[in-house]
Structure formats: structure tokens, C-alpha cells
Amino acid sequence: RDSSSNTTNVSDDDLRLDDLLPSGFDAKSCLSRIQSTSYRKKSPFPPSPHLISKLRSYEARHKRCGPGTKSYKAASLNLKSKSGSGSGSWFGSGECKYIVWIAYSGLGNRILTIASAFLYALLTDRVLLVEHGSKSDLADLFCEPFPGTSWLLPDKFPVRTKFDKLGHASPECFGHMLKHKAFDNATSDPAFVYVDLVHDYNDHDKKFFCDEDHALVKNVEWLVVRSDNYFVPSLFLMATFREELFRMFPAKVTVFHHLGRYLFHPTNQVWGLVTRFYDAYLAGADERIGIQVRTFYNGPGPFQFVMEQIQACIQQETLIPDVANDVKLVPKSRKTKAVLVTSLIGDYSEKLKARYWLNPTSSGEVIGVHQPSHEGFQLTDQSLVHNRKAWAEMYLLSLMDRLVTSAWSTFGYVAQGLGGLRPLILYKSDNMTVPRPPCGRGMSMEPCFHAPPFYDCRLRRGADTGAMDEHVRHCEDVSWGLKVV
């Protein structure tokens, strides 16, 4: 497929995803931004005019407040003096407020938490800056999303060296401050507030999602957040944001779909991995099926029951016709299906490949099975190339017509959200046998928040947050999780 020629046939509106994306970028520096439309179907959910206007005003704010600007220099100077000598104003000049995202956990988690932090920035008129570690360098994976500025936290950011040590017990931690009533005591204000939303956060940290407690950070100039969770569903449960979220996303299930397509554009390096694989193995097929295999059992596998589960799901959903017993009865067909398998190990795709090579299908359709890599182990903080492959594979999965994902996996959530696909989820087994049913259709394409609070903020007592709102429900794959439906 000649993707460059395709870009001349599509309208500027299409290229900019119905105005979701801003103009003003140099096309060559980020080819995926202009070429993605020739690989992926147009979204059936046009972004709302309100979302588009929020994004345009966000871009203007980021340009006004981002690294290198007078406002940024003033705010970081204020942070520096406050964290050093205790002088300076906690609330700053109020002109620009920031949320700094700290990298944590696997790449799928990172993508989901950046999207969550960005949504929070949109809702609270903040500017999002991302900390980019050395080996999982975000700049190596993603193009700059905002024109004429940068979202990367400058190397000389005043309190950067403190990031590693931040935790529940840090004096800057929101939950810790709440517990010790530090917000009431103006003399002990820290230079910034650290919001800990890591899965094992405590009950005080969780009150970040309570309107009244959350209001305490409204004017704080610098928020620093660390999370491994897609915390968007809990924002939907807050009166502060609910109405605005409904205006931005009339189709509620499109939050990650739109924000993901807006924020995450593979760099040219990664785009090469995506397009070369797609063009070589997937482009020519009549139908493309993605199967993402991620296991959270003891050891890396392979597990025989997982292989059987994949096969049972294929059969249950007739993703691929059964193999034929009698070759003479197989009609001649030139139709092809391409199956893209992603997994840390190669065994599952090898078995599928052999099955559909050694046997014809009952419809005569020819099945090609392809797996880009089998990296063996997760190496998020150790290898740039490893992360490029992971990102390229999430993106490739998002280009498929139908998608099978694995329960619990943020890797799969990213693919389904970007692709706008309601996935078939391979359920997690409780006893290392094939679950019945082996897979089921997700309620929405939204990711699951694995560690939501179970708390009624108004009544100040424990409550089932999955039963409070018709648009926020427990997830299919993680029963205590929450997702927007």
C-alpha cells in the first residue's frame, strides 16, 4: 500500500480527524499524524464541538505556559524558592497551573495514565508536563502532541530529584496532608502537592476523588501525580466535573478513544515498525483479526489451557471458520484472513499458524497468522527498542477489524480504545482451566480503572461506586474495577 499517495486523496478534515487534531505541525517530523488515516478507519464517533474547543484553548494555554515561556520560568522559580527556603507563594501568581506526570509501570499503564492526567488538565485548566525517564523515553515513542511547544518536563525542573522518594508518607502527599490537616495550616504549605494514585494508595489519598477534599488543591500551582491506573471513571463520579465531561463527551464511552487519538502519535521510528509490518503481512487480507495474549499466571507460559481458551473463543465467536474434516468438501476461495497475534512468547501463534496451514478451513478461506515479536519478558525500564515494539504492537492491534484482548491488560485497553473496538475479552481463569465462557464482548471500548475508591464522599462511608451512576459500572474483567459504559 502506498500510504504517501493516500494522503493526497483524503481531505484536510479527514487528516485532522474531524478537527480533533490541531494544525500547524511539520508533517515530516511525525509521519503517523498524517498517514494514520490511510491505515485506520474513520472514527464512527465525531468529536463534539465542545471537546474541540477545549482542546484548542488547551493548546493556547500550553503554548503560553509551557517550557521556555515567561510564565513557566516564574512558576518554576517560585517552586524552587519555596522548596528551598520556604519563601515564595504556594499558590503562585495563578496565571498558569501545572500537573506533572511521573512515569510509572508498563507502557500500557503509562499511556492510560497520561490520558487520565491530560483529561484532568482539561477539566481544571492546568498544563500537563510529562517526566520522561531515560530508558523508557517518551520522546522516543510519541510525537509532541501540542503545536509550537513541548510537553516534556525540562531536565532542570526544580524538584525532579525528589520524584523517586515521593510516597504516601511524604509531607507533600495529598493524602498525608489531608490526614495531618496540613491544608488548614498555611505556614506548613509545601512547594507542590503530590497526588498518589498508585493502585495501593490509602483511604486518604483516595479522597482526591471527593469534591470537597479535591477543592483544596484547586489553586495549587504545581501538582505532581504518579499512577498506574486509568482514573477517568472516578472523575465521572465527581459533581465538580460531571456536567463538563458530559458536554465534552456526549458519547461517554469515547473518552480514551478521542484523547488517545489526540495525544499518542508514534514517532517516525515506531511508525516504521507499524507500517512495514502492516504492509507486509496485513494489508492484503480481506479481514484482519487481532488476538492479544497476555497472561497473569505463575511464570511466563505457554499454558495449554490458554491455547485451548483462544481456540474456544475463536470457535464461539466464529472469528475463523472451523477446520474441515474432508478436504473434498472445501469450496475454492481466494478470501484471506490475517490474524495478528501479540504476546511475549511465540508459542500460541506458532500453534495457530500450524493449525491453519496443516488444515483447510470449512469455507476455504485462507488464514495467515503473524506475530511481530516475542520479547520473552517485560523490559519497560531497560530497553528503548523493547518499548518501541510494544507501542507498535498496541497500535497494530488497534488497526484490526475485530479484536480479542486479555483480561486485566492495559496493553489491550490501549489497542481497543485507539481502534474504537469493543473487544472480545479472554477471561482470566481462576483454576488454570478454560473459563466458561472462554471470552465475552466488552460493554464498551473504555479502559477499566483497576483500583477505584469504594467510598461515598457525601455520606463519608464505604459504598459501591459501581452502583452510583448508570454510566460507570464494574468491569467485565476486573469485578471491583470501574469503567465508563
Contact between 404 and ligand GDP per CB under 6 A: no
x/- letters, 322..361, toward ligand GDP (CB under 6 A): --------------------xxx-----------------
Contact between 375 and ligand GDP per CB under 6 A: yes
x/- letters, 83..112, toward ligand GDP (CB under 6 A): ----------------------xxxxx---
Residue 116 vs 361, nearer CB to ligand GDP: 116
Residue 108 vs 145, nearer CB to ligand GDP: 108
Which residue number places its CB atom closest to ligand GDP? 106
x/- letters, 252..271, toward ligand GDP (CB under 6 A): --------------------
Q: What is the spatial distance between Cα 361 and Cα 326, in angstroms, rounded to a whole number?
A: 10
Contact between 373 and ligand GDP per CB under 6 A: yes
**Residue 482 Rama label (left phi>0; alpha psi -120 to 50; beta):** beta
In the complex, least distance from residue 471 CB atom to ligand GDP, rounded to whole angstroms: 24
In the complex, least distance from residue 227 CB atom to ligand GDP, rounded to whole angstroms: 12
**Residue 86 Rama label (left phi>0; alpha psi -120 to 50; beta):** left
Task: Give the bridge partners for 406, in sequence order.
Answer: 426
Residue of 214, 210, 116 whose CA lies nearest to 468: 210
In the complex, least distance from residue 331 CB atom to ligand GDP, rounded to whole angstroms: 34
Residue 37 vs 136, nearer CB to ligand GDP: 136
Contact between 234 and ligand GDP per CB under 6 A: no
Residue 78 vs 429, nearer CB to ligand GDP: 429
Cβ proximity of 211 and 240 under 8 Å: yes
Contact between 396 and ligand GDP per CB under 6 A: no
In the complex, least distance from residue 102 CB atom to ligand GDP, rounded to whole angstroms: 15
Q: Count of CB atoms within 10 A of residue 8's CB?
A: 6
In the complex, least distance from residue 340 CB atom to ligand GDP, rounded to whole angstroms: 10
Residue 47 vs 447, nearer CB to ligand GDP: 447
In this structure, the chain runs to a length of 485
- CA distances to 4, 328, 439 from 9, rounded to whole Å, are 10, 45, 39
Angle at 227 between CA 222 and CA 230, to 5 degrees: 115
Side by side, the strands of the sheet bearing 126-130 are: 126-130, 97-102, 222-227, 193-197
Contact between 423 and ligand GDP per CB under 6 A: no
Q: What is the spatial distance between Cα 230 and Cα 240, in angstroms, rounded to a whole number?
A: 19
- Pick one of 33, 258, 294, 353: the residue that binds ligand GDP (CB under 6 A): 294
Task: Give the bridge partners for 426, in sequence order.
Answer: 406, 439
# residues near ligand GDP by CB under 6 A:
20
Q: What is the spatial distance between Cα 384 and Cα 39, in angstroms, rounded to a whole number?
A: 25
Q: What is the spatial distance between Cα 423 and Cα 433, in angstroms, rounded to a whole number?
A: 22
Alpha helices in 125-164 (DSSP H): 138-141
Cβ proximity of 453 and 229 under 8 Å: no
In the complex, least distance from residue 377 CB atom to ligand GDP, rounded to whole angstroms: 8
In the complex, least distance from residue 386 CB atom to ligand GDP, rounded to whole angstroms: 6
Q: What is the spatial distance between Cα 42 and Cα 186, in angstroms, rounded to a whole number?
A: 52
Contact between 410 and ligand GDP per CB under 6 A: yes
- Applying CB under 6 A, the residues found at the interface with ligand GDP are 105-109, 294, 342-344, 373, 375, 378, 380, 386, 389-390, 393, 409-411
